[in-house]
Structure 1
Amino acid sequence: MQLALGLIETKGLVGAIEAADAMVKTANVRLVSKEKVTGGLMVVKVIGETAAVKASVDAGAAAAQRVGELVSAHVIPRPDDQIENLIFDSSLQIVKRGPTVIKTSKRKEDVTLFDEEEKIEKADYGELEIPSEEELEKLNVHELRRLARGYENFPIKGREISRANRQELLDHFNLIR
């Protein structure tokens, strides 16, 4: 690893957030993580070029000191590659998301309005399948809105989707089933 590692340890979340904010605003560094250690201690980690990390750690330490929560600050220039698994959390989980739709045209043509009683055929939705009723019930309103926007011929569009509550979105999904 040719980058430097900067560490700031604070007591409590407020000091950690204040330090992290000052660190990323001061220099061109990348915030790696914020971890709870024990007993209310938090560690904020940044990486970047050595001079930038030193400047950002100094600024972050000063910001945490103003809040009165600084425990320690340290910069490790060019840490060995073997400690990379200590720096980067290897327990990150990949979250599986719903279907993604890539729109190829910028204009929508032939926008059709549907009555609520009108049944919409499944063929209009191409290869995307509508999740089962149990799967839809597990989704919150934001996830339902995102899913609804993914369907080209969903009965409601744009701001109507944004304004629709969870039950209205579930009703529309049941209509197109």
Structure 2
Amino acid sequence: MPQAVGVIQTLGFPAVLAAADEMVKGGRVTLVYFDKAERGEFLVAIRGPVSEVNVAMEAGKKAAEASYGGEVVSHYIVPNPPENLLAVLPLEYTEEVEQFRV
């Protein structure tokens, strides 16, 4: 089954928390990465089937914008990422997230 990667970058922690929560509830996806970006920005990445990532990303963007002071700075989806992308970026299913993989 083709896998996709979805990333949302927000301004402020409450917005990224709301986005991450809504993404894992809104689609059959696994949260694979979370970190601080720069200047008070945070990002969260998910993986899963392409159709599920699309649905989860829409839900996450709406939740981030609806949170108090929430702002989505950037978002993108990479359907069927090539192996060299996965080798460079920390988007693989790790042992830590494997137990939560759907």
TM bucket by the smaller chain? 0.7 to 0.9
Superposition RMSD in Å: 1.8
Question: 5 Å matches for 1:158-177?
Answer: none
State the TM-score, normalizing by the size of structure 2. Answer: 0.81
Q: Structure 1's 7 and 89: CA in aligned 2 closer, same or farther, altered over 3 A?
A: closer
Structure 1 unaligned regions, length at least 5 = 93-177
State the SS of the aligned residue for 2:6: strand
| One-letter identity of the residue aligned with 2:30 | R
Counterpart of 2:71 in structure 1 is: 69
Question: 5 Å matches for 1:17-166?
Answer: 17-67=17-67, 68-88=70-90
| One-letter identity of the residue aligned with 2:59 | A
| One-letter identity of the residue aligned with 2:44 | V
Deviation at 1:85, TM superposition (A): 3.0
**% of aligned pairs identical?**
32
Whose relative contact order is higher, 1 or 2, with alpha carbons under 8 Å and at least 6 apart? 2
Counterpart of 1:121 in structure 2 is: none
State the TM-score, normalizing by the size of structure 1. Answer: 0.48
Higher relative strand content: 2
| One-letter identity of the residue aligned with 2:20 | A
Structure 2 unaligned regions, length at least 5 = 95-102
